[in-house]
């Protein structure tokens, strides 16, 4: 399986059923995949930057199906300290 094939699959968190995005990059250590990286979602078409990247350990991947990648990992909650703009 290629990175392009992985990138075309949605990553789903098993416990909540939440769609986390798609795999954008892989981290290798000693010729083995140790983590997958999902780039943060852009805010207001990228004008307000992006959310933090999500790093998921390879061992948290439970199933790679034809359309989705199922993961069992804790997902950090969005930062409460982010300021909310009244004009958004």
Query: Using an 8 Å Cβ cutoff, are 42 and 50 in contact?
Result: yes
Residue 85 tokens read as 């703009």
- Short-list 81, 79, 43, 39, CA closest to 56: 39
State pTM to two decimals: 0.73
Structure tokens belonging to residue 29: 């250590």
Per residue in 13-53, pLDDT (tens digit) is 999 999 998 999 999 999 999 999 988 776 676 567 677 78
8 A C-beta contact, residue 66 and residue 49? no
72 closest CA partner among 85, 60, 63: 60
Q: What is the rounded distance in angstroms from the CA atom of residue 33 to the CA atom of residue 12?
A: 19
* CATH code at 3-71: 2.30.30.240
The confidence score (pLDDT) of residue 30 equals 93
């Amino acid at each position: 399986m290629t990175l392009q094939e992985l990138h075309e699959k949605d990553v789903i968190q098993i416990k909540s059923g939440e769609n986390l995005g798609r795999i954008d990059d892989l981290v290798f250590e000693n010729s083995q995949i140790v983590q997958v990286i999902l780039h943060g979602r852009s805010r207001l078409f990228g004008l307000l930057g992006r959310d933090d990247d999500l790093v998921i350990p390879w061992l948290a991947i439970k199933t790679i199906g034809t359309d989705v990648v199922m993961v069992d990992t804790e997902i950090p909650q969005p930062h409460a300290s982010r300021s909310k703009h009244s004009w958004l």
